[in-house]
Structure 1
Amino acid sequence: MSFQIRQATILDLDTLAPLFDGYRQFYGQSADLARAHDFLAERFRHHESLILLARDEHGGGLGFTQLYPLFSSVRTVRTWLLNDLFVVPSARRQGVAAALLTAATEHARALGAASLSLSTALDNAPAQALYESLGWQRERQFCEYSLTL
């Protein structure tokens, strides 16, 4: 499969929104293309995230990853949260996810980041295997908590 990865802009919104909606559905959310479109449009308008988009040779969307900037107060460095990674089912196991992860790593490194972090579902073994094959290490030092507001 031939594909290319580049940083997305607001001009890619119509390609990204269905991918983002598919990502949300993968995690149990109801389909809502308008909501996906609006959420991404806000991220672009406020420069709140960085999105890398994989397209096939015809320009069709194959997948994306979305990163959010963070900082480590203890280490006094910039880090990035790789919050979203999605590849359409027809393009899975063809190197798209690995290429997106590699591009995200290169992009974060070029921006001076000290690290990348991500979370995935405990039962998402294929994703965990991919991350570990690319050198990501599972966190064993800290417990992660969240508070729903």
Structure 2
Amino acid sequence: MMSIRTRDASHDDLPHIAKLFDLYRQFYEQAPDAELARSFVEQRFLNRESRQLVAENAAGEIVGFSQLYPSFCSVEAAPIYVLYDLFVAPDARQGGVGRALLLAAEALARMEGKARMDLTTAKTNLVAQSLYEALGWTRDEVFHTYSRRLAP
């Protein structure tokens, strides 16, 4: 296990987050696009549309990030976070970075009074699923998730 420190992202962190975000998108079979990645994470940060957390190794290098979007659960009539993005640099995997980011996100959500956190991951991402389940996340067996692409 490597020494990991998590914290809220600052504006200075955005270039590092953008690099990881571009790799994250490639993991989900999107074409590399450094400018799109930079613009997207910067806009979410500047517009305060998400909370971004970073994980640093002992040398102070950013080796992972997570991005949380505020939302609401109508059934519970309460605010929640959607943990949409979580990515660890390939050379930092298996070192506790993902675990540290998840625990930091949970602590933030509790501190801000969120009722729960939701996330989705690819059915093939078994490594991530095992981490989520080890930390007490439960797979939804009640609801189906649907999406519909909207033409511009």
TM-score, normalization by structure 2: 0.95
Q: CA deviation at 1:19?
A: 0.7
Counterpart position of 1:147? 148
Q: CA deviation at 1:31?
A: 1.1
Return 5+ residue gaps in structure 2 as ranges.
none
Counterpart position of 2:126? 125
Deviations 1:26-77 (A, max 9, x none): 1111111111000011101110000110112222110011000000122110
SS at match of 1:70: strand
Percent of residue pairs bearing the same amino acid type: 48
Q: Is the 8 A contact 2:45 2:52 kept in 1?
A: no
Q: CA deviation at 1:3?
A: 2.1
Counterpart position of 2:33? 32
Distance 2:59 2:16 in 1: 12
Distance 1:47 1:106 in 2: 19
Instruction: For 2:73, give the aligned amino acid.
Output: S
Deviations 1:84-116 (A, max 9, x none): 010011111111100100110010010000000
Q: Is the 8 A contact 1:19 1:61 kept in 2?
A: no
Instruction: For 2:112, give the aligned amino acid.
Output: L
Distance 1:16 1:126 in 2: 22
Distance 1:59 1:40 in 2: 20
Distance 1:61 1:35 in 2: 20
Distance 2:16 2:68 in 1: 18
Bigger mean CA deviation after superposition, 68-77 or 110-119: 68-77
- Cα RMSD after superposing both structures: 0.8
Counterpart position of 2:44? 43
Counterpart position of 1:54? 55
SS at match of 1:5: strand
Return 5+ residue gaps in structure 1 as ranges.
none
Instruction: For 1:144, give the aligned amino acid.
Output: T
Corresponding position: 1:102 with 2:103: yes
